[in-house]
């Protein structure tokens, strides 16, 4: 697994979990979905991704995107 695939998996998990929490618990959890989308948007334009930095520190190898 590379950092890129870990980031995409983590973002997908956050979006699905926050959507489920918004449906069953409180609609305020949709803010978490928005933050995940904003983070992906920022990473797409700037290459800065806090999740990628965390996964690199955990020892996951980098691919072509987040070096």
Structure tokens at 63: 């691919």
Work out the widest C-alpha separation in the chain, in whole angstroms: 38
State residue 67's pLDDT score: 59
Mean pLDDT, the chain, integer: 91
How much of the chain exceeds pLDDT 70, in percent?
Answer: 96
Q: How much is the average pLDDT of 1-21? A: 93
Cβ atoms 10, 21 nearer than 8 A? no
State residue 66's pLDDT score: 59
In this predicted model, what pLDDT tens digit does every residue of 41-64 receive, in sequence order?
Answer: 998 899 899 998 999 999 998 877
Residue 19 predicted with pLDDT over 80? yes
């Amino acid at each position: 697994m590379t950092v890129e695939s870990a980031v995409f998996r983590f973002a997908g998990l956050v979006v699905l979990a926050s959507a489920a929490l918004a449906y069953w618990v409180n609609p305020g959890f949709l803010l978490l979905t928005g933050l995940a989308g904003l983070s992906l948007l920022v990473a797409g334009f700037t290459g800065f991704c806090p999740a990628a930095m965390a996964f690199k520190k955990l020892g996951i190898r980098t691919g072509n995107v987040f070096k």
